[in-house]
Amino acid sequence: MVLLQPKQKIQLTIKKLGINGEGIGYYRKLIVFVPNALPDEEVIVEITRATPKYAEGKLRKILKKSLDRISPACKFYDQCGGCQLQHLNYSAQLDFKRDLLNQALNKFKPQGYQNYELRPTIGMDNPWYYRNKAQFQLRFNQKNKRIEAGLYRENSHQLVAIDDCLVQEKTTQKVLNTITRLLNRYQIPIYDERKKTGLLKTLMVRIGVKTGQVQVVFIAVKDKIPQLANLLRLIKEQLPEVVSIMLNLQPKKTSIVMGDETKVLWGKETIDEQINEVSFHLSARAFFQLNPKQTEVLYQQAIHALDLSGTEKVVDAYCGVGTIGLSLAKYAKEVRGMDIIPSAIEDAKENAKKLGLTNTHYEVGTAEKLLPKWLKEGFQPDAIVVDPPRTGLDQKLLKALLQHPVKTLVYVSCNVSTLAQNLVELSQIYQVDYLQSVDMFPHTARCEVVCKLTLKQK
């Protein structure tokens, strides 16, 4: 039996925030999710979806306001869906992210979770303009006959044109705005996913915050772009900070933004960045953390958790361009890393060479295959660092970690739910020493966590 109906209005008391930053209340024991509502608020909600197990609703009126509620600073906040928590003051955001971890642990209940040490979330002094990469979709607006760049509304393909994102590094936004004007000047054909016509799909801009170097990547269905020479000439003239212009081909109809083939249109193939005094070359498809300032904090926490003396052999799983492993290489005897993207491994090798490191080894492949191979070759790691995608540890890797345990395992997570889920199995043989949350993405519901695990004594 469905308790509620769409368009029905109800009064709720919001009890807590959910994993997506939405308010959660209960109507006759039925859970109701309400975006933009905050704990302790009395609200009027219009139901948008109702099932026997839960309901969703729109916030229509606040009868009793939370003391932590503030006015969002961004003019696009209620449109683009990129941020979820700008209406919550920043100190309360940090408390929420620690509570988010607590909720995940209570849901999955790994061994001994009631006694885990959850340290207060480490936040930013200035939680604005922190993202070093913008990946804006392009469209031709039929109403104003203009090319626009922006982000999709939440759960849709309706583009919100954005010219001033408050969490985006200022230079990247300036570059985006300038190039969008140039695309209009030369009337470059923009891809229409409904008609399957046009060329350009997406515009990606990334900056090396420490170096000031900017890379522009045009993502298109074909490589024949009209007026390309003129476009490149004006980008070079008007944007001297741009040192690399690339073209990525993505002809497939897919949610994956970038394709497999990338070409240099002008300038360098990579840009340089620096984290904790370690320099990196970044190619167009290489993964790199979006918040460099907090990445330094995150990696320092990972290094602290490893507690290295200089004699240890460390494996950096999901190594990418080597960011974590190279940051800790000077504290270890040997660091080995793996990744499935060949260009990332090439970057990692080049980054290690540039730093003059002779104690690193990088190889293309999955950890679940390479770890047993290295063990057979006589390499016995003392510690492993894993920094998996939001989906958590691959089941084959998880099995390998359990079959070949090490003294210290440091799990760097960008998804508290999959971390808690993985801890159910890891806690069978590892003791969870503590969990340190780090706010990598202020004003969103996402949080990174460094979890230190040590092998249980038999």
Active site residues: 414
Give CA separation, 64 vs 14, 41, 61, 69, 340, in Å: 10, 5, 9, 11, 51
Largest separation between any pair of C-alpha atoms in the chain: 70
Give CA angle at 13 (12, 14), nearest 5°: 110
Q: Confirm if 188 and 226 have CB atoms less than 8 A apart.
A: yes
351 phi and psi, to 5 degrees?
Answer: -65, -40
Q: What is the enclosing helix (H) or strand (E) of 64?
A: strand 54-64
* CA gap 264, 111 in Å, rounded: 51
146 phi and psi, to 5 degrees?
Answer: -130, 150
**Token pair 């996402």: residue:** 446
Bridge partners of 350? Answer: none
Q: What is the enclosing helix (H) or strand (E) of 426?
A: helix 416-426
Output the DSSP codes for 94-147: HHHHHHHHHHHHHHH--TTGGG--EEEEE--SS-SS-BSEEEEEEEEETTTTEE
* CA gap 364, 344 in Å, rounded: 9
